[in-house]
């Protein structure tokens, strides 16, 4: 019964499409014929083939009204196909093309750590010599690199939690994250976050980030000599000498987190997770301008409407508590194209 009902819907859509212009009519007829072919080749349940998925991925890129003609699956399914195709494309492009440097086994790394802790006066040459006598072939520079991580006896320091809590009001955190486009290109999003109220001070999007471009973003984020005292960041190579000189010239002290320790930049990492979960995971970016527009809408919602656990369920810019009016009702205000909503009391008409 369900299959017959879907076929009737498709036939009705074909009749309605006769009154549309020729270009739209051709596209919709093609889409409807493609879906009818799926029912034709399926016995009980519609079977989506690879060529069917490719058809709708391409249609979603070049046809604005593709969602209106899609009945066989939901639009979110087509977006999921696109993301899966993006992963497969970059997996293929990033495949191993030749032999690289062999990895150091965990047993050897643990042995270097034990030797470093048990012999605090030994340097890399001494430990390297011991390893050679055990028949372990390894370069001395590799041992030296591991010693920097394992060497015990470092002077005590305050915890990261203490540091962040003491400097929230004058600390910026920065980071990049990537967003794939409809053409399988990668856009880099740079954000500047104020710790005190989790406010996004500045953001920008580019396809080709550089140290000069990143340094200019810090300047744009701090107009009228309102630079923070500290700038928290990771050890990405993009923050080169040009970036460091510009930040130093603005009177900002850089705080670099440990290698491979994103938890030391928690507010920024949490912000990026929210952006992905609430916004970019639900769209296919067409280009830089399209992504900027969608992110601008999301940040407006984030600052003015979205409640935050770390701010006692308030928004970064503050959201007053409403009182229920007499004979009032709750209405929904659409945000970010309908992905989210804000709810307010309004008097009944």
Q: Are 268 and 191 in contact (CB under 8 A)?
A: yes
Distance separating alpha carbons of residues 22 and 199, to the nearest angstrom: 49
Strand (E) or helix (H) holding 99: none
Q: What is the mean pLDDT of the chain?
A: 81
Distance CA 116, CA 106 (A): 15
pLDDT of residue 172: 93
Average pLDDT, stretch 154-179?
75
What the block records as the tokens of 191 is: 């954000």
Model pLDDT for residues 188-214, shown as the tens digit of each residue: 999 999 988 889 999 999 999 999 999
pLDDT 10s digits, 215-224: 999 999 987 6
What is the per-residue pLDDT for 288?
95
Contact call for residues 316 and 308 (beta carbons, < 8 A): yes
Rounded Cα distance, 149 and 322, in Å: 54
Q: Quick one: which of 284, 294, 277, 287 has its CA closest to 76?
A: 284
> How many other C-beta atoms are found inside a 10 Å radius of the C-beta of residue 125?
11
pLDDT per position as a tens digit, 264-317: 898 899 999 999 999 999 999 999 999 999 999 999 999 998 888 777 888 888
C-alpha dist (Å) from residue 349 to 120, 121, 184, 284, 322: 79, 82, 49, 39, 18
Q: Decide: helix, strand or coil at residue 324.
A: coil
d(CA 253, CA 231): 6
- How would DSSP label each residue in 56-94? HHHHHHH-TTHHHH--SS-HHHHHHHHHHHHHHHHHHHT
pTM for the model: 0.59
- Looking at the domain 160-304, which fold is it? Nucleotidyltransferase; domain 5 (3.30.420)
């Amino acid at each position: 019964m369900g299959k017959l009902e879907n076929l009737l819907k498709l036939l009705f859509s074909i009749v309605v499409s006769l009154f549309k212009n020729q270009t739209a009519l051709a596209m919709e007829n093609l889409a409807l014929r493609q879906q009818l072919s799926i029912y034709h080749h399926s016995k009980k349940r519609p079977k989506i083939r690879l060529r069917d998925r490719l058809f709708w991925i391409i249609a979603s890129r070049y046809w604005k009204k593709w969602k209106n003609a899609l009945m066989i699956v939901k639009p979110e399914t087509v977006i999921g196909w696109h993301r899966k195709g993006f992963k497969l494309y970059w997996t293929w492009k990033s495949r191993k093309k030749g032999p690289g440097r062999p990895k150091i086994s965990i047993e050897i790394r643990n042995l270097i750590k034990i030797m470093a802790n048990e012999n605090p006066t030994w340097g890399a040459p001494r430990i390297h010599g011991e390893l050679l006598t055990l028949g372990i072939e390894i370069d001395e520079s590799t041992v030296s690199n591991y010693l920097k991580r394992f060497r015990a006896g470092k002077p005590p320091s305050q915890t990261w939690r203490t540091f962040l809590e003491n400097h929230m009001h004058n600390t910026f955190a920065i980071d990049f994250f990537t967003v794939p486009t409809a053409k399988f290109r990668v856009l880099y999003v740079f954000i500047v976050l104020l710790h005190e109220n989790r406010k996004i001070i500045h953001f920008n999007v580019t396809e080709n980030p550089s140290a000069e471009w990143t340094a200019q973003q810090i300047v744009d984020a701090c107009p009228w000599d309102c630079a923070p005292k500290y700038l928290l960041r990771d050890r990405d190579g993009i923050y080169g000498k040009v970036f460091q000189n510009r930040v130093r010239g603005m009177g900002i002290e850089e705080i670099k987190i440990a290698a491979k320790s994103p938890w030391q930049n928690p507010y920024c990492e949490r912000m990026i997770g929210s952006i992905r979960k609430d916004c970019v995971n639900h769209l296919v970016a067409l280009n830089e301008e399209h992504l900027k527009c969608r992110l601008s809408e999301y940040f407006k919602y984030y600052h003015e409407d979205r409640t935050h656990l770390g701010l006692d369920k308030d928004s970064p810019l503050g959201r007053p508590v409403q009182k229920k009016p007499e004979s009032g009702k709750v209405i929904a205000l659409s945000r970010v194209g309908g992905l989210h909503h804000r709810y307010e009391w309004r008097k009944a008409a």
